[in-house]
A and B are shown apart, each in its own frame.
Chain A
Amino acid sequence: MFGFITRRIAMALVVMFVVALISFLLFRFVGDPVNQMVGIETTPEQREALRQRLGLNDPVLTQFLRYVLGAIRFDFGNSYQFKQPVADLIGRRLPATLELSFASAVFALLLGVPMGVYTGLNRDAWLSKLLLSVSLAGISLPTFFIGILFIFFFSVTLQWLPSFGRGEVVTLGSFWDTGFLTISGLKAIILPAITLGLYQMTLIMRLIRAEMLEVMRTDHIRFARARGLPNRSVYYIHALKNTMVPVITITGLQLGSIIAFAIITETVFQWPGMGILFLHAVQNVDIPIMAAYLLLTAFIFVCINLIVDILYVVIDPRLRTERSRT
């Protein structure tokens, strides 16, 4: 087990190194950073001085080394637009995105898993058919459209929930602004979380349904029934656990994309998270932010993959290869 984890971490480091290289090349070769930073009236001498100060005249390898060392210490340089350290900018936005992603992942899992189990076991029930067709609508409508529909119904017409922003936030520690501790913060997160999690919920539901249908046909489920086990233990102890490996894979990857690609939802609901920051960075060619965002996203995916790999082994004893077959 230990050897397995170390091997996985080593692989993760390789991935991170490659991403760092790409993100550095982006920084170095997409446009001229100096042009982005200064106005048109700057003299060539001033430009050269700035170039020298930023270390852009050093050999590429030195620059890359400096970039990696900086990244390890969360130093991604200064944003071109805001003239502030990128780490601070992201740090201030990160909690909002993470809370939104967390809430939508919880929503997707809490509804998706039971719905998947139900539709898998009662495939002919009218409720299953209803859930499947409604979820089909959920999966085929684009996120921004659903978000706007929600705003129209729940914020404009019914006026139950706010249409934008995070509501009141409480600062925990030095930088973590949380919306989970105030009523208005909780109300504000409902609509964006559902909008963001709807697609994942449908996906999880359909995946679990398909896996359940598959597992319920296997011999060991028939044998469990032949042993007289009640439905409850057949379904939840023997069947559900056997559906978990593919479900964890997909859920893990989806969680990654929730965090990384919350951009559209954040834009629709004016959620002050990283998505909006990134969008503005793209519009203004703010390369340090884009590069840091790239690294961060890769880091999140790598971490999730690592956790998924470990969960596989925890769930499925057949993957524990170290112990030899007897």
Chain B
Amino acid sequence: MSILDIRGLTVEFPSRKENFTASRNVSLSVDAGKILGVVGESGAGKSTVGNAVIGLLESPGRIAEGEIHLDGKRIDNLAAENMRKLRGKRIGMIFQDPLTSLDPLQTIEFQLIETIRLHLPLSRAQARAHAVDLLDQVGIPDPEERIAQYPHQFSGGMRQRVVIALALCADPEVVIADEPTTALDVSIQAQILKLMKRLCEEKNVAMVVITHDMGVIADLTDHVAVMYRGDLVEYGESKQVLGTPKHPYTQSLIAAVPRPDVKVHRFPQVDYIEGSAKPFKQIDISTHWLGKVRDYKSVDGPLLDVKDITMKFLTRDAWISRNRRYFSALDKVSFDIYAGETFGLVGESGSGKSTMARVITGLYHPAGGTAHFAGQDLTSLKDKKQVLAMRRQMQMIFQDPFSSLNSRMRVRDIVAEPIKFHKLASTNSEVSQIVDDLLEHVGLGVAAATRFPHEFSGGQRQRISIARALATRPRFLVCDEPTSALDVSIQAQILNLLKDLQDELGLTMLFISHDLAVIRQMCNRTGVMRNGQLLEVADTEELFANPVHAYTKELLSLMPGMEGLYRQNLEEELS
């Protein structure tokens, strides 16, 4: 008998124009001690299912059809007050972002005791003892001491442990985890996944894990449900679904995941995924403005030569210099990038990889060291003219496609701005012709020019960013986590686009990512960073085959495992 049983769930969001159906006829069930994964891309309706189970559908969403049963009793038609009493007591929930899931103004102790005493008949002292015990169970060191602290005094991974403790504090039968590890670094992610698996077994909890990450599904779940645009397209044992997917969408989804084990030239794209087949006209780069006037002098040796770059941030100011405290973001980092190659920087958050990008593009001024670009020292550019000339050669693509475009400007103006600023075209009609061509070339189409950024999806916005970056005819692109905010299918498209552009224009790229699989597919050579230090630089294939540094080995071993899945594929291909 399943603990949680969802039958034919249809959730609608009525609006004035039409009813939007977020999930359609979804039936799932979970047993005690088992983990069910719900996987899909944004807009698939996977979070809606979780929210419906715990009774927290956002207004005006409502369950139009179907039933939800908890331990044999129907719960979807309970009155709001009775449903509230179930929450936290019988159904726990874990959210995505541990940094914002806790009330920043109350201590951990207050939040734990508040929740425990709400659900369990314990005195304040007993509740506190229980809270300390819980923190110990989720692996927080010195729980006695740390319980009195505020959320901001914990790191991201530790906060997610606190969130898990809060979700488990009344021993619920079902726990719903909505993207529990998406906001965490890979090493922390591995720890949290292990913790969830252990707690699920120890406490015999039925767990529903909602995620977009196939690696998490492969590592953690017993069963998996694949959702696409509100429909449940495939449902079964994880091993079977991942190994021999039946539905074309599942197949395309799995194919789009960058493979950590083999280098392929292009990311597989399957037509099932929206927007992959775009019949836009491709401009002939060799004769076009974009490829024609590339007046950069060629260089012998590396295009970019970074030597002993050091960067410090002031963490505590004082009048006496001795009392000032610094955070060392970059500690004598040296590497070089040759023309035409893609150099990867990989590391966890806080490792200094984004800081490096900003030093190279001149957004930060380093405390020490030199960086030569085409023989010119970036750290000692004299006048504005030199700076501008350098900026024209280097462009940057940022991580967040939502905040990196000015929402008050039309796409045409966004892309035209660098052309006009650097005076790269003589007439307005020429500029708008170039903008149109660029938009076509990155796969957006001319029609995009008159629209505003908010009308586009994340992947389309990233294409706008790329068009804007190309508009100065750069020879060097800095991509700072260009796809980490995107779904895997969109990620595949964007990465393919970057590869194509590199081939056509001979671009040199610095590619920054925390995702080893993406790095493997994109980069010729890769450097591994941690705590501001560059630990190891090697050819990417060599790095994956024979990592030298212990930390590199650790990172590689922590990649959420798709190995089992691929091995199975391989066996089938062989047999």
Residues of A at the B interface (CB closer than 8 Å) are 218-220, 222-230, 233, 237-238, 241-242, 315-318, 323, 325-326
Contacts and interface: CB of A to CB of B under 8 A. Distances in A.
A58 B433 CA distance: 76
A222 B56 contact: yes
A238 B118 CA distance: 15
B203 to A, nearest CB: 17
B101 A220 contact: yes
Nearest to B86: A228
B100 A224 contact: no
A73 B114 CA distance: 52
B93 A242 contact: no
A227 B87 contact: yes
B324 to A, nearest CB: 14
B68 interface: no
Nearest to A230: B84
Given A219-B101, A317-B104, A228 B87 contact: yes
Contacts of A241: 103, 105-106
Contacts of A225: 56, 84, 87
Given A222-B56, A316-B104, A318-B104, A227 B152 contact: no
Contacts of A242: 103-105
**Max chain A CB contacts within 10 Å: which of B101, B119, B167?**
B101
13 contacts: A220-B103, A223-B166, A226-B95, A226-B167, A227-B166, A227-B167, A230-B118, A233-B114, A238-B103, A238-B106, A241-B106, A316-B104, A317-B104
A263 to B, nearest CB: 38
B63 interface: no
Nearest to A322: B316
Contacts of B102: 220, 223
A223 B93 contact: yes
Contacts of B101: 219-220, 223
A226 B93 contact: yes
B152 A318 contact: yes
B54 interface: yes
A226 B106 contact: no
B115 A325 contact: no
B89 A228 contact: yes
Say what secondary structure dominates the interface of chain A.
helix
Interface string B139-161: 00000001001101110000000
Contacts of B152: 317-318, 325
A233 B54 CA distance: 19
B163 interface: yes
B278 interface: no
B56 A325 contact: no
A227 B170 CA distance: 9
Contacts of B104: 220, 242, 316-318
7 nearest A-B pairs in the assembled complex, by CB-CB distance: A228-B88, A228-B87, A226-B93, A219-B100, A227-B88, A317-B150, A223-B101
Contacts of A318: 104, 150, 152
A227 B115 contact: yes
Interface in B85-143: 85-89, 92-93, 95-97, 100-107, 114-115, 118-119
Contacts, number: 83
Nearest to A229: B118
B95 A228 contact: no
B314 to A, nearest CB: 13
A210 B114 CA distance: 27
Nearest to B87: A228
A226 B88 contact: yes
Contact of B54 (A218, A224, A226, A237): A226
A220 B100 contact: yes
Contacts of B85: 228
Contact of B103 (A224, A226, A230): A224
A238 B102 CA distance: 10
A226 B87 contact: yes
Contacts of B92: 226-227
**Max chain B CB contacts within 10 Å: which of A219, A223, A225, A238?**
A223
**Max chain A CB contacts within 10 Å: which of B85, B96, B114?**
B114
B171 to A, nearest CB: 13
A228 B100 contact: no
B38 to A, nearest CB: 17
Contacts of A222: 56, 95
A307 to B, nearest CB: 19
A248 to B, nearest CB: 13
A16 B103 CA distance: 38
A222 to B, nearest CB: 7
A148 B286 CA distance: 78
Given A219-B97, A223-B95, A226-B56, A316 B105 contact: yes
B140 to A, nearest CB: 11
Nearest to B172: A228
Nearest to A318: B152
Contacts of A238: 103, 106
Nearest to A319: B152
A230 B104 CA distance: 19
A300 B319 CA distance: 30
Interface in B153-183: 153-154, 163, 166-167
A229 B100 contact: no
A217 to B, nearest CB: 9
Contact of B119 (A226, A228, A237, A325): A228
Contacts of A219: 95-97, 100-101
Given A219-B96, A219-B101, A326-B154, 10 more contacts: A223-B93, A223-B163, A226-B167, A227-B118, A229-B118, A237-B106, A238-B103, A238-B106, A242-B104, A317-B107
Contacts of B87: 225-228
A326 B114 CA distance: 24
A230 B102 CA distance: 16
A326 B153 contact: yes
A315 B106 CA distance: 9
Contacts of B146: 326
Contacts of B118: 227-230
A229 B117 CA distance: 10
B145 to A, nearest CB: 10
B326 to A, nearest CB: 14
Interface in B446-491: none
Contacts of A323: 153
A24 to B, nearest CB: 29
A316 B104 CA distance: 8
A229 B103 contact: no
A56 B299 CA distance: 76
A57 B114 CA distance: 71
Contact of A326 (B86, B107, B149): B149
Contacts of B56: 222, 225-226
A323 B148 CA distance: 13
B58 to A, nearest CB: 9
Contacts of B149: 326
Contacts of B150: 317-318
Nearest to B116: A227
